[in-house]
Amino acid sequence: MASTYSILLDTRFCTGCNTCFYKCVQENRLHDTAAEGHYRTLVLIKDDGLYHRRCMHCKEPSCEAVCPTAALSKTDYGPVLYDAERCIGCKTCVAACPFHVPQWDETRHQVVKCTMCAHRLQDVAGGKTIPACVEVCPTGALIFGEYDELVAMAKQIASENKLHIYGLEENGGTHLIILAKEKPEVIGYPAVPRDTVRSREIKSVSGVVAGAAAVAALAYAGIKKYSERRIQVQNFNRSEE
């Protein structure tokens, strides 16, 4: 796989029909889990626009970073994939994803999350195998292609039409890029900072270590002082006796 794939969602052409949702269910045979409320992609009709709740395929995925067993992995061709066999069900990814995407299917004991139809991406050059949601979108609101090309396209469309772009900066950049008339955060997309888990963890770990060291020093000093005082008191008491 030489290419790095990506999906561009131009919400100016999305009607919220959710054909992408149902096609995904059929393509990936997710009927039972979907009936229970879990989905890989779904369009929510919000007051200020349409919110596509689906995996953003981060360049540096938080889910991958927090997964203790490497059940989640970032492929070199774009999608973030999930291996149910490796998963131990800690569900940390569910809480860690800044986009609130992975869902835990408690009946089937696995995470539900988009794969960008990785199984269809074997013959992209042949033009046949693009993600099911992209193939089915009645209005062509979803576009599939090379990351760099789509980024260039997104920037051009956005500047020509005064649109907001979501996914270029968020969480260090993602492989789903969204164009919207409204500010995505107003529509309902989560406000996600630019820095990734990896950049943050260094700070966190150093914070923990520094904090632990500080407390250790304080504790040592504290007990030393307390016990010295105790001894002094005892000695004093003894001498009193």
Partner 1 sequence: MVWEWYLPAFMTLAGIGAFLYLFGVWLGHREIFAPPAKFATYLSWMVLALAGVFVLLDLGKPAAAGTGIVHILNVFNRWPSSPISFETSMLLATLGFGLLCTLFYLAGWRRGWPRSVVEILGAIPAMILAFGYAGFLELGAFTTNPLWHTVMLSLLTLSLAIAAAAAVINLPNVGFFADLLPNFASKEAAGLLGLITRSFLVIALILTPLYLLTTGGYASLLLGGSAGVKFWGALVLGIVVPLVIGFSRGIPQEQAKWVALAQIVLVVFGTYLFNLAVLQAGQLLL
Partner 2 sequence: MSVSPPLRNLQPTRPFGEHPQEKPKYIIKKKVPQVCARACECDCAYNVVVGVDRITGLERALTIEGRPEDPVSRGKYCIKALGFVDSLYDPDRLLVTLKRTNPKRGLDQDPGFVVVKSNDALKEIIEKLKKYKREEILFNSPGDPYTNRLCRSLGVTRSDQRTECFGTHYYLNSLMVTNPPNKYYSSTYTVTHSLWGYDYSKTKYMLWFGFDSFSKLAKAGILNHIVEGKRNGTKIVVFNPVKTPIADSIASEWYPIKPGTDLAVTLAMINIFLNEKLYKVEFLKNYSDAYALIDIETKLHVVDEKGKWLSWCGTHNKPEPINSCDNPTLEGGSFSFESNGRTIEAKTVFQLLKESVKDYTPDWAAKISEVPAEEIARIAREFAQAAPMVCIPNLKRDAAGPNYANSWRLMHTINIMHALTGSFDHEGGVLFLNGVKIPWLEDVDPPAKPYPPQPKEPVDYRNEFPVSNDIYQNKDYSAPGHYGMVGYGLYNTDKIKVVFFRSPHRGLHALIQPQMVEAALMKMDLVIDWNLYPDDTIYWCDYVLPAPHQYEESKFDIRQYYPKWPCYVGGSPVQQPPGDVIGWGKIAKEIGLALAPEYWTTDGSQDRTKAIKGDMYTPALKAVGINDMNDFMTNKNGIWIDKKPYENYKTIKEIGYGRPEGRIRLYIDEFANVGHDPLPKWSPRWTSSEGEYKFSLLVTRAPWHMHADPNFINNPVLNMLTRKNFIDCIWIHPDAGKELGLQEGAEVVIETNPKYMTDVPRPVKAKVHLSKRVARKDCVLLFHGMGHRSKLLRNGVYGYRDGDLIPQKNPKIVKQHDPTGMGWVEDVYVRIKKA
User: Contact positions toward partner 1, by CB under 8 A?
Assistant: 62, 65-70, 86-92, 94-96, 98, 100, 104, 106, 109-110, 190-193, 197-198, 200-201, 204-205, 207-209, 211-213, 215-216, 219-220, 223-224, 226-227, 230-231, 234
SS3 call for 209: helix
Q: Which is nearer to partner 1, 149 or 201 (CB)?
A: 201
Q: Which is nearer to partner 2, 84 or 218 (CB)?
A: 84
Q: Which is nearer to partner 2, 161 or 235 (CB)?
A: 161
Q: Which is nearer to partner 2, 12 or 91 (CB)?
A: 12
Site residues for partner 2 per CB under 8 A: 1, 11-19, 21-23, 25-29, 31, 34-37, 39, 42, 44-45, 47-50, 69-70, 73, 75-77, 81-86, 115, 118-122, 135-141, 181
Q: Which is nearer to partner 2, 161 or 206 (CB)?
A: 161
The CB-of-90 to partner 1 minimum distance in angstroms stands at 5
Q: Which is nearer to partner 1, 186 or 216 (CB)?
A: 216
Instruction: Count CB neighbours of 18 within 10 A.
Output: 18
Q: How far apart are alpha carbons 208 and 215 in whole angstroms?
A: 10
The CB-of-222 to partner 2 minimum distance in angstroms stands at 41
DSSP strand pairing (103-105 vs 110-112) = antiparallel
Q: How far apart are alpha carbons 40 and 111 in whole angstroms?
A: 10
- Helix ranges (H only) for 117-166 are 132-136, 147-161
Considering only CA atoms, give the Rg of the chain. Answer: 25
SS3 call for 12: helix
122 contact choice in partner 1, partner 2, none (CB below 5 to 8 Å, kind-dependent)? partner 2
229 contact choice in partner 1, partner 2, none (CB below 5 to 8 Å, kind-dependent)? none
95 contact choice in partner 1, partner 2, none (CB below 5 to 8 Å, kind-dependent)? partner 1
SS3 call for 225: helix
Q: How far apart are alpha carbons 241 and 236 in whole angstroms?
A: 9
219 contact choice in partner 1, partner 2, none (CB below 5 to 8 Å, kind-dependent)? partner 1
Q: Can you read off the two tokens belonging to residue 126?
A: 């042949």
In terms of residues, how long is the chain?
A: 241
CA 77 vs CA 1, 81, 102, 127: distances in Å: 6, 11, 20, 17
159 contact choice in partner 2, partner 1, none (CB below 5 to 8 Å, kind-dependent)? none
